[in-house]
């Protein structure tokens, strides 16, 4: 096998849970091969560079192997290598999200605290 459809490869490499989710991401422009947008039927070969956006997370990977079957996670991870730059950026974004979650108020004010806020702001 020297090439495989990109939607099958994304599914086999476990970037998306179903092939239809992979196809929707491809149609939406969330996946590019070697810097160019692509359709679900486009072939991917060993050595291609993929940029995959899934929600807020971005991956940049190099294709190391081909498969059109979904297997166990270790086999799926052997199909690609994530670039060092991509890994660093992803970890930095995750750290920023964690820091942001800790800074904000944990929950909504209860009735007593809402009364205090209204009294303090002069709206009571």
CB 39, CB 60: distance < 8 Å: no
The answer to whether residue 11 scores a pLDDT higher than 90 is: yes
The answer to whether residue 104 scores a pLDDT higher than 80 is: no
CB 7, CB 19: distance < 8 Å: yes
Continuous H helices in 1-124 = 6-12, 19-27, 73-77, 84-103, 111-121
For 2, residues 6+ apart whose C-beta sits below 8 A from its C-beta are: 45, 46, 66
Q: What is the mean pLDDT of residues 52-81?
A: 94
pLDDT value for 88:
95
**pLDDT band at residue 59, thresholds of 50, 70 and 90?**
very high
pLDDT value for 102:
57
- The pLDDT > 70 percentage for the chain reads 94
pLDDT value for 124:
63
pLDDT value for 105:
59
Q: Give the span between the Cα atoms of 120 and 32, in whole angstroms.
A: 53
Domains along the chain with CATH numbers: 4-102 (3.10.290.10)
The answer to whether residue 56 scores a pLDDT higher than 90 is: no
């Amino acid at each position: 096998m020297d090439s495989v459809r990109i939607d099958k490869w994304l599914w086999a490499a476990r970037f998306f849970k179903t092939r239809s989710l992979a196809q929707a991401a491809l149609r939406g422009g969330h996946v590019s091969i070697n810097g160019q947008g692509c359709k679900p039927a486009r072939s991917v070969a060993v050595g291609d560079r993929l940029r995959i956006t899934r929600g807020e997370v971005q991956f940049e990977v190099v294709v190391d192997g081909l498969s059109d079957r979904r297997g166990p996670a270790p086999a799926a991870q052997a199909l690609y290598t994530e670039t060092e730059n991509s890994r660093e950026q992803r970890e930095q974004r995750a750290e920023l999200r964690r820091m942001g979650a800790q800074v904000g108020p944990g929950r909504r004010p209860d009735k007593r605290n809402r009364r205090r806020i209204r009294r303090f702001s002069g709206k009571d």
